[in-house]
Amino acid sequence: MTTVTTNLTARAAELLAAMGAEVPEGGDLTAISPITGEPLARLAADDAASVEAKITAAHEAFATWRTTPAPVRGAMVYELGQLLRQHKAALGELVSIEAGKIRSEGLGEVQEMIDICDLAVGQSRQLFGLTIASERPGHRMMEQWHPLGVVGVISAFNFPVAVWSWNAALALICGDPVVWKPSENANLTAIATHALARQAAEAAGAPVEVVQLILGGREVGEQLVRDERVALVSATGSSRMGHEVAPVVAARFGRCLLELGGNNAAIVAPSADLELAVRGIVFSAAGTAGQRCTTLRRVIVHEDIADELIERLRAAYSTLPIGSPLEESTLVGPLIDQRAYEGYAAALKSAVSAGGTIHAGGSRVAADEHPDAYYVEPAVVELPEQVELMHTETFAPLLYVVRYRDFDDAIAMNNAVPQGLSSSCFTLDVREAELFTSAAGSDCGIANVNIGPSGAEIGGAFGGEKETGGGRESGSDAWRAYMRRSTSTVNYSTELPLAQGVTFG
């Protein structure tokens, strides 16, 4: 256990000031660092009137922003990318302080923001439609993409700023204002990011009203979800949250982009490079203290190599430095709060009751003089079969191991859970690799071979199927979610032929 850093309150205030952020102090919201479990600041939440005012401001700004040329809109996102480069160290450290990520992951999250800004700036000149051959002489038919409207973004604590940027960078170049409701566990990082976004708007001559931030609890999020002026709600969180959000938005014929639960597996085949597999497994399972939606939660290993893999995992887990994420040597930081720890402990108990064997970890680690901080040993638990417990996502560093004999059975086990975000397969057999990534293979939105399920790049569309929600963010053609499609036909002839040979007259 590395030393827990103290005086985080003063350091967080310094970082916020360095980024030009003004903190609305004195309210009922408490920003807490999971590093120590102690308060960083007390913040004023938005009330119903201020939420209404901010949505109204965004909606009114849409009238101007949607007619601004897309490359000009891209100039604002360019400025945001430059500011993020300038403040990468400060924002990355604030992510570590408020979300508990180790330093390299905090910095990596900001780099991900920079990367999506770069992608979006280029995309602002490539919002392509189609020219379609018309069956009618003297007619030209085309498909165009137009701005959609206000985009509401609800983000989770585990990627407190990157997920906002995935949505905001694309939404802004598409002509959509963004109203952001961050996690209650990550308000300070949101305040800092929002300040940089406003500075970027001013530098680019864009209306600052196109970016809005609302702070608060469930009632604030519900108001955002219900508002008919919010054309798209992009929500990241649990599948339970998605079940609540989606019907409300659908009832008013709005759009949803959902990034929900993950319960990700790695198949380890007999031909696998075990050294490579162990490195991929340990990072994917223990990184971010198991609090990624793409965290590896299940290893499905061939029975012929299971004992060797488990022994290698046991050895690797015994060397993981646990402690303050601000210490350079740390690889595993804290869980976000007490509820996360209780979920971890309860799942371990259930796994043992189901016949599981704990091969590594499983205990809480003392955090010196900070009893309200929750550090745990990443755990490896072997189960005799894929029991019902494994169908539930536990947001903690808890890795289940089960054995398989036939590769088709391994794929079936991968697909048996209700979530469908990410998956991976370690194999040197080209047939297994191709089958795993084929239509008959993994049913997840992400299917990797010889890398773990976490660590997605922004160039590819990110998201999953089934209870993961079906949304796609970041690269590829994810920009289309933030626009509406219009098919137009122009008749430049002097005749009026009808389609399908219909005559009327």
User: What is the set of active-site residues?
Assistant: 259
CA distances 19 to 118, 285, 422, Å, are: 21, 33, 35
Give every strand in the sheet of 150-154, ordered side by side. 211-213, 178-181, 150-154, 230-236, 255-259
Taking each helix axis from N to C end, the angle separating 103-123 and 88-99, rounded to the nearest 10 degrees, works out to 120
Element (H, E) at 17: helix 8-18
Quote the CA–CA distance of 481 and 95 in Å, as a whole number.
28
Residue 112 identity (one-letter amino acid): E
CA count, 13 A, side-chain hemisphere, 149: 17
For residues 189 and 98, the answer to whether their CB atoms sit within 8 Å is yes
Residue among 218, 214, 224, 210 nearest 252 (CA):
224
Residue 235 identity (one-letter amino acid): A
CA count, 13 A, side-chain hemisphere, 487: 4
Residue 333 identity (one-letter amino acid): G
Report H helices in 174-273: 187-204, 218-226, 239-251
